[in-house]
Amino acid sequence: MSPLVRVVRERFVPYLPGMTVQTALTPEERDRIREGTLKAFDRHGHEIGLEGALSPGSEIILREVVQA
Amino acid sequence: MSLVRKPTFSRSRIPSFASVFLLALTLLLLLASPSFPWTLTILHTNDLHGRLSPFSDPALGPESGGIARLATLIRQIRQENPETLLLDAGDRFSGTTLSSLFQGEAELVFASLLGYDALALGNHDFDYGQERLLYLRQRLAHLPFLAANILSEPEGKPPYPPSLYRVKNGVRILLVGLSTPETPYSTRPSNVAGLAFQSPARSLRAVMEKERGSYDLLIVLSHLGYEQDCRLAEEVPGIDLIVGGHSHTKIETPERIGRTWIVQAYQWGLYLGRVDLEIRERRLSQVKGKLLPLSSKIQADPLFASLVKHAYQERARPLMEEVVAHCPYPLLRGEGETVLGNLLADSFRAFTGADLALFNRGGIRADLPSGPITVGKIFEVLPFSNQVMTTELSGRQLKVLFDRLAARGGGDAISGARYRIHQGRAEDILIGDRPLEPDRIYQVAANDFMMAGGDQFDLLRQGKNVRAHGLDRQALIEYLRGHPGEWPPRGSRIER
């Protein structure tokens, strides 16, 4: 079985060499991150950019941005 | 008579010139290095991806980032502490109009003006090819790119220096560059032809072994990504600091794995990383660091701002207006098979040499009006900097893929193939002029979004030997230039 990238908790995307965060997300999620209403984080809680490279076993956690 | 016997010494007891010199040098460095604690400041960037002009960022606001703001902060910090090193962890190229139009020149001119002490080579730093990189390096020879894990084949020699030394306050700092071994899969194969990417950990150990005893601090410039940096810190003890990139990770304050500190400054020059290393008796005693936001509150350096505007933005305008083709009729998006979709799929196939190419209808973001097609118009049609990729699928797998295309109504473009939609399924599939062979392996090209299963192209995930070839825009521009006046006919590939 090929390595996977885990998006949030329910969705798994197979890992491809050279894969970036944006290729693992849906068009809606990509647009919302660009608009700033959603943010992507790694498993350690660091924010990650849309063009950030993934590695086998990476985890992307999506969080709503709460407007103050 | 008194006999005075001359003293005799065995040869081994006479200190050689070299050992006296080394002893003197060591004493000199010991004297030069203060015994009281002092601060070495590391300024770091990564994954700038051609962002030279300010742009809007949801978190930092409009007019954020930009090389001119970066220049202001770097100058201020250097004035505050002359014992400062400026480092970059790779991927200065690709991602903006200026980068594409000037093929990396602007990024390296500004890197040179900023006076980087060392830079790692990222996978996207090869996007304009090795010859271009070599040409730019020769013109800006003082830019110290480091790559300890890249070798030329078949000679097995490093084409870039693996490491270099910087001495601050008598402390010898060894800087080592590491590039991602996935580079051959994430840029066009011809861009890295003749290069072998070795194991980063093994290559680093080799440098450490060679330089053993000659350095006081070891700093690694890594274009491997945060997860790999953590692994490297665990596998190779003795690294003081890893300045990372590739994963575009926002590490707010330095993190520690074992005795190794890891930093990374997010992406696109939105932040300048700063780490203050307290040095006591030639050893790291304390570490403090943070990311400095480059919001519009930071004044732009006027010289850099003027250079970006006059040397590049104004020169870019005529390049964006450059006509690459003349279109006899409007190329419109729409339901079903379109000439625009066919043209894009054709450009992917020609760019990669694949047997067939696919283009998802949702990936086309603007129409092309009749008349001159400019570079600027192509940026409107394909604004997302998607990568063109290839994968290998069997004929049996392709049959399932074609059924999916048929079920979606045949609106996704294909090149190098034809099929008929009958009762929601694909029939009479031809690849080239020959019927689809179930056991044959075919090369299939598509963008990276589709390859990851986007737009329900899940089956592409099952492919093997996935490779990236370059940007979708580059593929289209090359195709239009190479095929003047050739427009794919509409309605010739999918029969209903």
CATH number of the domain bearing residue B332: 3.90.780.10
More confident of the two residues B444 and B16 = B444
Domain spans in chain A, listed from the N-terminal domain onward: 4-64
Residue after which a domain boundary falls, among B315, B341, B360 = B315
Is A3 within 8 Å of chain B by CB? no
> Cβ contact (<8 Å) for B227 and A57?
yes
Is B452 within 8 Å of chain A by CB? yes
Same domain, B263 and B379: no
Same domain, B461 and B413: yes
Query: Does the pLDDT value for residue B76 go beyond 80?
Result: yes
Is A11 within 8 Å of chain B by CB? no
Closest CA–CA distance from residue B468 to any residue of chain A (Å): 7
Same domain, B448 and B302: no
Residue after which a domain boundary falls, among B256, B281, B315 = B315
Same domain, B399 and B273: no
Query: Does the pLDDT value for residue B175 go beyond 80?
Result: yes
Please tell me the least confidently modeled range out of B68-72, B367-371, B452-456: B452-456
Domain that holds residue B262: 34-315
Same domain, B285 and B347: no
Same domain, B63 and B182: yes
| Averaged pLDDT, B441-450 | 92
Number of domains forming the structure of chain B: 2
B376-387 confidence digits (pLDDT tens):
899 888 876 788
> Cβ contact (<8 Å) for B452 and A23?
yes
Q: Whole-model pTM?
A: 0.80
Same domain, B260 and B183: yes
Residue B8 lies in a domain: no
Query: Does the pLDDT value for residue B9 go beyond 50?
Result: no
Query: Does the pLDDT value for residue B496 go beyond 80?
Result: yes
> Cβ contact (<8 Å) for A18 and B266?
no
Same domain, B338 and B307: no
Query: Does the pLDDT value for residue B288 go beyond 90?
Result: yes
> Cβ contact (<8 Å) for A49 and B95?
no
Which residue of A lies nearest to B388 if distances are taken between CA atoms? A18
Same domain, B310 and B347: no
Cα distance between the two ends of chain A: 44
Same domain, B308 and B331: no
Query: Does the pLDDT value for residue A12 go beyond 80?
Result: no
ipTM exceeds 0.85: yes
Same domain, B263 and B354: no
Is B228 within 8 Å of chain A by CB? yes
Structure tokens at B150: 């890249």
Structure tokens at B404: 């999916």
Which residue of B lies nearest to A15 if distances are taken between CA atoms? B452
Residue B12 lies in a domain: no
> Cβ contact (<8 Å) for B448 and A57?
no
Residue after which a domain boundary falls, among B282, B315, B348 = B315
Query: Does the pLDDT value for residue B196 go beyond 70?
Result: yes
CATH code where residue B169 lies: 3.60.21.10
Same domain, B258 and B333: no
CATH topology of domain A4-64: Ubiquitin-like (UB roll) (3.10.20)
More confident of the two residues B238 and A35 = B238
